Structure 1
Amino acid sequence: MDEKKRIRERLLHEFQLGHTAAEAARNIKKALGDNALDESTARRWFTKFRTGDFSTDDGFRSGRPSTFETEPLRAAINENPATSTRKLAEELGSSKDTVWRNMKEMELSYRSGRTVPHDLNEQKRQKRVEICRTLLQRQQTSPFLDQILTCDESWILYDNRASEKQWLAVGQDANATPKQLHPKKQLLSVWWCVHGIVYWELLPLNRTITSEVYCEQLHRVQQQLRRPPYTVWARKGILFQQDGARPHVSAVTRKKIEDLGWDILEHSPYSPDLAPSDYYLFSPLKDFLRGKQFSNEEEICTALKNFFDSKGPEWYRKGIEKLPNLWERCIQCNGNYFYE
């Protein structure tokens, strides 16, 4: 048996012991010397072994193969989906272009993983399903979407510029975007329904919501509901939908909502994907603000008013009327987060 064959047999033994390619390379070099093999060769053979082919014959070349085999590529990707085409090319003894071409033929794409708002355990997922099922059954027997008044908050930055790629001539420097360690911002609170924006306001700079502040806001919302065009609508009864933030669910706030005569619409905890402002209103608002800079609160208020006024009643209605479909999706996904 020649020396290379012996090394390949050792690699197979290391693989069967459950060692990684890097560990195998270190063990073999420790026994046979640093020049026995390099780690990239070990990775290529380990990729082959992962396909179920345990032959150590020299038919598997450490150089670039004349015909590309997709199974070793698939095995390498399954082991590490975050790997790069450069690393795959090194492991498979091929070129980046060949790897890329075969990945496209396999209909693979390189995408970032999604972030989710919370880590949902079984209890939280089940709670989401139960609430969505209750709301869906209620809507089917006695439609109530037209009565929903929904509320949420979002930070509005004074500087909404972001670092973006730019087309530049040779030697030309890209425009720099300074990093903001403590960005200047104000909290937007907004209440809306199928007819449009009922009320919105900005809190003073860097101020956050407390139960007392929230109750004062609710009083101002009630005053707005007593004015046209919401007077007749509010007489049908308000179903108030809000998330479970502490200021929203404190005893003081619950008493205030009771005094206002509003009914609370049950909302699934940890569920921005089921909150109209999160899944519908805030995303286009952020798109509208992207790239803009404001020097004072008045400029922000003007921009917000322009955005809210640019959307007709049918647009706001569409956002609320998405809810039944989203409740169904949540049930179908067993309470897991879902994406449209």
Structure 2
Amino acid sequence: MGQKRLAAMIEQDTGVWLNNSFDNQEWLEKHYSDSAPSKRSICYWYAEFKRGRTDTDDIPSTGRPNDAVIPENVEKTLKIIMSDRKVKVREIADIRKISAGSVHTIIHEHLGMKKVFSKCVPCLLTPEQKQQRIDDSKSCLDMFTRNKSQFLRRYIAMDETWIHHFTPESNRQSAEWHAAGESRPKRPKAQQSAGKIMTSVFWDTHGIIFIDYLQKGQTINSDYYIVLLERWSVYYIALLE
């Protein structure tokens, strides 16, 4: 039984209910066994209607108005955030001399903003570098459209990866065929070696063409790539011949 229904029953015949509160509670428990209100609820509504209450709606609460959430603070908070996207709520509260809760309300409810983590990307490109990539991609797409087979035959990709001096067997690599009842094979726990080497790999549609290993103490920079491409060109020309 909801409180509105209980209040309406009391309101219809307040005198009868007030004179027989114990019997009325028993009657409610008999007819509303699963949702009968407590004696405290019955007494509360008795007292309310006895004091002259005339409705069963909840009395609206009169909370303290938030004086800090005003258009001026909303505008100032937006300016602070736009000048420093990483600013903390506490810092905004200290600058504007308002509570952190008020800052939360301004940011989420009035500005519709939230703090998000940055997304990791391989590198940050300048507008010129982005445009160069777009032009190169369009050029490759044009060549591919004109002659797909010739383009794929001549298209060569390159990437770099670290290769450890020792890499332990994976679970799949260590799998063995065993008959029912035989115990599982055991192997000692091993980790990848600390020693590793940077490897540059060139490949085309038929597979790997050229592999280059970075010498110890050498740094990957523009000079390294110039030498690497020269070595690759010599090797590829010899391969074609």
State TM-score, norm by structure 1.
0.32
* Higher relative contact order (CA closer than 8 Å, sequence separation 6+): 1
The structure that has the greater radius of gyration is 2
State TM-score, norm by structure 2.
0.43
